[in-house]
Structure 1
Amino acid sequence: MKKWTRLKYHPNTTLGPNGTRITSSTTHADLARRLAREGMVLLKNDDNALPLTDGVKLAVFGTNQFDYVKGGGGSADVVAPYAHGLNDGLAEKEAAGQLSVFAPLSDFYRESVQTQRAANIEVGRTTQPALDPALIEAAARFTDTAIITIGRFSGEGNDRQLKPGDGDYYLAPEEDAMVAAATVNFAHVIVVLNVGGVVDTNWFKDDPRIQAVLLAWQGGEEGGPAAADLLVGDTTPSGKLPDTFAGRDDAYPGAAHFTDSLDYVDYTEDIFVGYRYFETFAAARKQVNYPFGFGLSYTHFAISGVSVAPQAVTTVTTVSKAGGTDGQVEASDGFQVTATVLNTGDRAGKETLQLYLSAPQGQLGKPAKELVAFQKTRLLQPGEAQTVFLRFNLDDHASFDDLGKIAKSAFVLERGDYALSLGTSVADVETLDWHHREPADRIVRQAASLVTPHQLAKRLLADGSYEALPTDDVQKTAVNDGSARVPLDATLPLTQVRRLTPQPVDRPEDWNDPSVAGLNLLDVAEGRGSLADLVGEMTNGELATLVSGIHVQQSVSNTGGFGGLPQHGIPEVMTADGPGGIRVERNIGQSATAWPCETLLASTFEPALLQEFGAAMASEMKENNLEVWLAPALNIHRDPRCGRNFEYFSEDPLLNGLCGAAEITGIQNQHIGATIKHFACNNKEENRGESDSRVSERALREIYLRPFEIAVHLAQPWAVMTSYNMLNENFNAQNGEMLNDVLRGEWGFDGLVMTDWWNRAFHAKEIAAGNDLKMPDGEAGNLIEALASGDLTREQLETAARHVLELMLKLD
């Protein structure tokens, strides 16, 4: 196939066996179901209430059994062929003779959902109807076992409500009544949570009337059947929590200032995010109901033969190209922990070992524990053992000294003793017989002071006190409201402006306009000319249009694309939203696989499985003639309020980075581009277009940029998407320190940087700062003006255009 044939013709060539479509195929549905099973977390299982006994009779409470939430709203929403909820999963087991469901109760909830749908109540928003006592009595005569289903929905653009009784973080009054009806009338009660993020767990944690709780997350199109697989014991749960579940919403350190203002958020908790906070402070630890990394199984495991040895480990923190080294270097302080995991129970299952580092407090202060490695076993049969290896590099976990207490703007390992603990959650660990001592403060890597805060007055320290930070009178940058937008001169020759209307192309050779002399992109791809020469031949107007997106739907995409200068043989490259699957245009009669949400994927603690998911995603992209997937999303779960947490992996930078790198590898191995987003500190949805995230340099380096750094170094994504928000008084999209100095300079990123859609930054400032592409369209006229005024140089514009074209050259 000639290069870019798919891009030019959009033939939708099927990629499945025997001419079938792989998109929405049973193969991908099976993978989605397997992913969902691997990531669901068993939170509670008193008296071995689960798995259900064969032939059990069930009474199922809650509209969620029909009002199933496959994933959150916004860019992660997917037009799927179906979304099978818990009722579908239980019906499958009933047909197999494994259980029976009390139909009148389920019919009651089905009719309620249908009525609420007719009243335009959206998915995940239904309320629980009042129960007829006679119906409850009949259900209790049928069985003594009840399942309570609870669903939650959130979406892009809005944050969650955490007030008691609002039916989001906490139960609504109608749900309280439903829970009371079940717990009073049934001896055995099981809860299934179909949620995208952290919710209240107090109502079941210590209630002996509720024996078991399955955190099923938002499991994609096959989430209900996957949950049923676990409930009946066809599969053993192996998911682990990627977040800390505290007893109260205000127990999280970010809660104190989350709603102070629509204009800014003060990250006063600094590096103490998630378990780093709860494990460091004794009072906070008491607030934890279920710790990070926690998850039960139907079987039991024993850990033995633990040893620690020096090991040459490839470091994640590499020397950048600017520093003279291309790629990864071997670690000088690498270690390997070896342990044997034995299945001592009577069911097959998997266990995840987690390795945590405890560093000396020194002058900078550190969290009590920090995840440095994890490894999930294969499926172990009863009596079977596996030796696992956990490797880490101590240098990767140095502290960033932003105030110069030891060495300003350096990553430092402070002198003192370092310890390791190994276990199955952050709270269930044993200290290893290993001690490493740094005899003196050691600078691991010297960086620069970049993206400093101006208005953040204080931050939390490891002893519980607050440290004052320097502030000044620097104000937030101006916001682009579009009023000054200058249209590109319509009198320019056609060779200088994009054809805004899709043009038919009858033959491949017609793509390269013979009326235009000079190089075309295919010449560059086939070695007949250089990219620098091609860009050099392009006019200012052509360059300005090339770095502006195409807000024209040429395919099933609903996000548009970029490129489209046929006079230079430059094709149109179409994008697709993620990370829940490819988000195709609605009402065109086409669907795609709806995959589990990213939080569930992180709960698998199995990057290799996520690489398999990435490969499947790439095949659906390719089959639908889409070339750049706008995923994965790597933002940190700073606080449960963020309405988009379901779209992000976890509260831990390492887990985020490794999950993201695995997905990227699976995607880009098939020559489909991955786009890591949202760079960076997009941890709140309210007023996300202008809100200023005020973050210390240390927290920025160690927590919020770290997942992106890991993904860049391990997988080299082809694209990065900047976030809507400001970071320390300036838009990320036009911040040269973030893009040119950190991303490209320190980390050696050599791909494309694009904006989020319809952001509020200025296009000329973005190009000057290293943001190559404005989406879904740009301000080409303003770029021409900026060139004339000297605010933008031709060299900067050519650099951006070159990055756009370099990505295209990677595509098939």
Structure 2
Amino acid sequence: MISPLDALSAYGAVDYQAGCSEMKCWGENLIPPAMQAAAKADATIIIAGIDLSIEAESLDRDDLLLPGFQSKLINQVADAAKGPVVLVLFSAGGLDISFAKNNPKIGAILWAGYPGEKGGPAIADVIFGKYNPGGRLPLTWHEDSYTHMLPMTSMPLRPVDGYPGRTYKFFNGSTVYPFGYGLSYTKFNYTLKSAVRSAHIKLDKFQHCYSIKYQDDSYNPPCPSVRTDDLDCEKEIHFEVQVQNEGAKDGSEVVIVYSKPPQGIAATHIKQVVGFQRVFVPAGRSKTVKFRLNVCNSLRVTDYNAYSVLPSGGHTITIGNDIISFPFHINFRNYCN
């Protein structure tokens, strides 16, 4: 096991100060020595977060905040620092670190999860630029107020009884960092090169239209949807995205593709991930990423009866965090037509 301290020491002299005597950080008496070290150092790296003594299968967290005096430690050390400040966080779940995100003295935040035996060198290589990170958050980092918006006994993912939805698919409130967020030492730009934008599906005499609920009860399209179990689901959405590395450093980019259902469908998801690819692009170069997505798997919604249905109308395919998008229209035709 190589610790972050040992790995960082390979890059330069490190003046290590504990800051907290334990993870729960009940006391603040160790903060002044950490501030003094930061005031003299060329750069300051603060390692904070939580561990399995705070979050585990048998330990429910009561909030999304850093424990004890950790927030105070981070703010005071950052304010005292002479040089740039990097905050490294250990955790499995999200943390409300809005205070650090909004602190102008903290120039970078690195989420390390719970690293393995080579986690120390991985952290050091990212901080010193030997490796260009290209990860994406696999979960939403909520603000702490989210824990007061719903009881933990509420299981539905959809918003219900005045409670907000869960996961990126149903929650549309403010967050610390959204699902899929991630930074790089370079900048990538997307261009949609080609795309098929519609699918016309002719139903046979054994395939029937299926009613779904709309927010506007008066809206009644000729064929609102068809259950996916009744479709052969051979249609595909295929498109190409050019990923341009506009920076000066080689890097990999995770291209995430989402689908959004037609507007007006009641109680459905906001968006859902339907595909992703990681692509390595040298500095100043570009690469084309091709996607072929199954229409039923990518555009289906689940109604309150737990049926998987493919709605007709105008769906939307988005790439990245709404960087580029294009419409995709589903049209059903009766077997007699």
**Pairwise same-fold verdict (TM > 0.5):** yes
Relative distance call for 1:223 and 1:186 in structure 2 (3 A) is same
Distance 1:343 1:139, change over 3 A: closer
Q: Provide the residue aligned with 2:286 in structure 1.
A: 385
What is the aligned partner in structure 1 of residue 47 from structure 2? 149
Given the superposition, is the C-alpha separation of residues 414 and 136 from structure 1 closer, same or farther in structure 2, using an over 3 Å criterion? closer
Answer yes or no: is 1:194 the counterpart of 2:112: no
One of 337, 354, 358 as aligned partner of 2:239? 337
Note the C-alpha offset of 1:373: 0.9
The 3 A distance-change label for structure 1 pair 360 and 177 is: closer
- Pick from 161, 173, 176: which aligns with 2:62? 161
CA distance in 1, matches of 2:177, 2:308: 32
> What is the alpha-carbon distance in structure 2 between the residues aligned to residue 429 and residue 251 of structure 1?
30
Q: Determine if contact 1:338/1:388 at 8 Å carries over to the other structure.
A: yes
- Residue 256 of structure 2 corresponds to 354
Judged with a 3 Å threshold, the aligned counterparts in structure 2 of structure 1 residues 393 and 251 are, in CA distance, closer, same or farther, namely farther
1:342–1:384 contact (8 Å) kept in structure 2:
yes
Native 8 Å contact 2:3 2:120 kept in 1: yes
Tell me the CA shift for residue 366 of structure 1. 2.1
The CA RMSD measured in Å over matched residues stands at 3.0
Aligned match of 2:220? none
Structure 2 partner of 1:395: 296
* C-alpha distance 230-241 of structure 1, shift in aligned 2 (>3 A): same
* 1:34 equivalent in structure 2: none
Distance 1:139 1:290, change over 3 A: closer
Secondary structure at the aligned position of 1:386 is classed as strand
Residue identity opposite 1:419 in structure 2: T
**1:399-410 pair list within 5 angstroms:** 399-403=301-305, 410=307
State how far apart, in whole Å, the 1-side matches of 2:66 and 2:62 are: 12
Asked if 1 retains the 8 angstrom alpha-carbon contact of 2:26 and 2:68, the reply is no
Task: Output the CA distance in 2 between the equivalents of 1:330 and 1:193.
Answer: 47
Equivalence for 2:314: 417
User: Are the aligned partners of 1:419 and 1:435 in contact in 2 as well (CA < 8 Å)?
Assistant: yes
Residue 376 of structure 1 pairs with residue 290 of structure 2:
no
**Take 2:278 and 2:28, find their aligned partners in 1: how far apart are those partners?**
42
Kept in 2: contact 1:244–1:291 (CA 8 A): yes
Change (3 A) 1:400 1:109: closer
Q: Distance in 1 between matches of 2:314 and 2:31?
A: 64
Determine helix, strand or coil for the equivalent of 1:377.
Answer: strand
Q: Which runs of at least 4 in structure 1 moved beyond 4 Å after TM superposition?
A: 124-129, 132-135, 361-364
Q: Does 1:222 align with 2:128?
A: no
Closer, same or farther: CA 296–135 of 1 in aligned 2, 3 Å: closer
In structure 1, how many angstroms separate the alpha carbons of the residues matched to 2:315 and 2:33?
A: 63
Provide, for residues 113-135 of structure 1, a one-character-per-residue CA deviation record: whole Å limited to 9, x for no partner.
5xx6xxxxxxx556565137467
How many residues were matched structurally?
293
Verify the 8 A CA contact 2:197 2:328 in the aligned structure 1: no
Amino acid at match of 1:194: F
Assess, with a 3 A threshold, how the Cα gap between structure 1 residues 236 and 135 changes in structure 2: closer, same or farther.
Answer: closer
Following TM superposition, by how much is the alpha carbon of 1:173 offset from its aligned partner in structure 2, in angstroms?
4.2
The question of 1:299 aligning with 2:186 is answered yes
Pairing 1:164-563 to 2, within 5 Å after superposition: 169-187=64-82, 188-250=84-146, 256-258=150-152, 265-270=153-158, 272-278=165-171, 281=172, 284=173, 287-309=174-196, 331-361=233-263, 364-378=266-280, 380-396=281-297, 397-403=299-305, 410-423=307-320, 425=321, 428-432=322-326, 434-439=327-332
> 1:593-652: per-residue Cα shift (whole Å, max 9, x none)?
xxxxxxxxxxxxxxxxxxxxxxxxxxxxxxxxxxxxxxxxxxxxxxxxxxxxxxxxxxxx
For the residue of structure 2 that corresponds to 1:240, the secondary structure is: coil
Q: Which runs of 5+ in 1 are unaligned?
A: 1-81, 94-98, 117-123, 163-168, 259-264, 313-328, 404-408, 442-812
What is the deviation of 1:229?
Answer: 0.8
Task: Report the residue type matching 2:36 in the other structure.
Answer: E
Output the CA distance in 2 between the equivalents of 1:419 and 1:440: 21
Say which SS state the counterpart of residue 131 (structure 2) adopts. Answer: coil
Q: Distance between the aligned counterparts of 2:145 and 2:256, measured in 1?
A: 26
> For the Cα contact (< 8 Å) 2:25–2:68, is it kept in 1?
no
**Taking structure 1 as reference, are residues 180 and 419 closer, same or farther at Cα in structure 2, changes over 3 Å only?**
closer
2:90–2:111 Cα contact (<8 Å) kept? yes
Give the TM-score normalised by structure 1. Answer: 0.34
Do the aligned partners of 2:237 and 2:293 also contact (CA within 8 Å) in 1?
yes
Are residues 251 and 157 of structure 1, via their aligned partners in 2, closer, same or farther at CA, if it must alter by over 3 Å? closer
Higher strand share: 2
Aligned equivalents of 2:318 and 2:111: distance in 1? 26
SS of alignment partner, residue 77 of structure 2: helix
User: Residue 109 of structure 1: which of 18, 29, 33 is its match?
Assistant: 18
Measured against aligned partners, the alpha-carbon deviations of 1:459-510 in whole angstroms (never above 9, x if no partner) come to xxxxxxxxxxxxxxxxxxxxxxxxxxxxxxxxxxxxxxxxxxxxxxxxxxxx
Aligned amino acid, residue 130 of structure 1: N
How many angstroms does 1:247 deviate by?
A: 2.4
Aligned partners of 1:440, 1:361: CA distance in 2, in Å? 21
State the distance in 2 between where 1:363 and 1:305 align: 27
Q: Do the aligned residues in 1 keep the contact of 2:268 with 2:303 (CA within 8 Å)?
A: no
Q: Equivalent residue of 1:221, what SS?
A: coil
Residues 238 and 296 in structure 1, CA contact (< 8 A), matched pair in contact too: yes
1:219-276 C-alpha deviation (Å, 9 max, x unpaired): 1222121111100111001110111122234268xx5120xxxxxx332443843112
2:9 corresponding residue in structure 1 = 91
How many angstroms does 1:440 deviate by? 7.1
Describe the SS at the equivalent of 1:220: coil
Query: Which secondary structure does the structure 1 equivalent of 2:106 belong to?
Result: coil
Instruction: Name the residue aligned to 1:100.
Output: 13
Distance 1:335 1:100, change over 3 A: same
**Higher share of residues assigned helix:** 1
Residue segments in structure 2 that go unaligned for 5+ positions in a row: 160-164, 200-230
Q: 1:401/1:179 Cα in 2 relative to 1: closer, same or farther (>3 Å)? A: closer
Distance in 1 separating the partners of 2:142 and 2:303: 30
Change (3 A) 1:127 1:91: farther
Note if contact 1:192-1:216 (Cα within 8 Å) is conserved in structure 2.
yes
Alignment-derived partner of residue 589 in structure 1:
none
Q: Between Structure 1 and Structure 2, whose CA radius of gyration is higher? A: 1
Give the percent of matched residue pairs that are identical in Structure 1 and Structure 2: 27
Q: Which residue of 2 aligns with 1:130?
A: 29
2:18–2:30 contact (8 Å) kept in structure 1: no
Per the TM alignment, residue 401 of structure 1 is displaced from its structure 2 partner at its CA by 3.4
1:22-58 CA-partner distances (Å, limit 9, x unpaired): xxxxxxxxxxxxxxxxxxxxxxxxxxxxxxxxxxxxx
Kept after mapping to 2: 8 A contact 1:355/1:390: no
- The Cα of 1:89 is off from its aligned counterpart by 1.7
User: What's the secondary structure of 1:299's corresponding residue?
Assistant: coil
Q: How does 1:786-801 map to 2 (within 5 A)?
A: none
Give the distance between the partners of 2:56 and 2:68, measured in 1 at CA: 23
Once the 2 structures are TM-superposed, how far is the Cα of residue 310 of structure 1 from its aligned partner?
7.9
> Equivalent residue of 1:371, what SS?
strand
1:412-437 C-alpha deviation (Å, 9 max, x unpaired): 222221111112x3xx43222x3313
Greater mean deviation of Cα atoms: 268-277 or 189-198: 268-277
Name the CA shift for 1:306/1:249 in 2 (closer, same or farther; >3 Å). farther
